[in-house]
Amino acid sequence: MNCYKAKRLLSRYIDNELKDESLRLKLHEHLKACEDCQREFHSLIAVKRLIAQKEKIKLTKDFLETLKLNIQNEQAQIIKIRWLPEAGNLARKLIPVPAIIAAFMFFMVVARLNGVNPVEEYLYADLSDEDIGILSGYVDSSELLTEVIF
């Protein structure tokens, strides 16, 4: 076994992940014979031990209590978010009705104030003055009818 291969296997070896017995034996033999790889092996062990000394955190029961509160708040928000579009849809359906009525009433009032009867304007828009007379009863329609026939 050469040094390159031995060094690649050292990580697996110190992690107890080198299951192949023949490879383990070859690595042992190489380590006995090679000072450089021995140094590498000891430095890896030292690093591993140092990391194991790293401080650990231990959470208190406050963590769970905070989590429960966070979950409650999130669920309340979800309900709110789910409810809002439904309310929005309902509003979109209902708001136009009074809005259209209000706009129509406003239009009528403004038109009346300007001396215009918008309903009549609309109804008689395509009729001539005579037609309007007939419809209003000012002109005798039988006269007009005779005129057209003969």
Note the residues at the interface with another protein (CB under 8 A): 8, 11-12, 15, 17, 42-44, 46-59, 63-64, 66-68, 70-71, 74
What is the closest distance, in whole angstroms, from the C-beta atom of residue 45 to another protein in the complex?
8
**Smaller CB distance to another protein: residue 49 or 80?**
49
State the helix-helix crossing angle for 62-94 and 96-113, rounded to 10 degrees. 40
Burial of 5 (0-12, 13-18, 19+ CB in 10 A): middle
**Smaller CB distance to another protein: residue 63 or 150?**
63
Q: Which two tokens stand for residue 28?
A: 């042992």
What is the closest distance, in whole angstroms, from the C-beta atom of residue 10 to another protein in the complex?
8
What is the closest distance, in whole angstroms, from the C-beta atom of residue 35 to another protein in the complex?
13
CA 114 – CA 89 distance, rounded (Å): 38
**Smaller CB distance to another protein: residue 49 or 93?**
49
Using alpha carbons, list the distances in angstroms from residue 1 to 4, 36, 52.
8, 14, 30
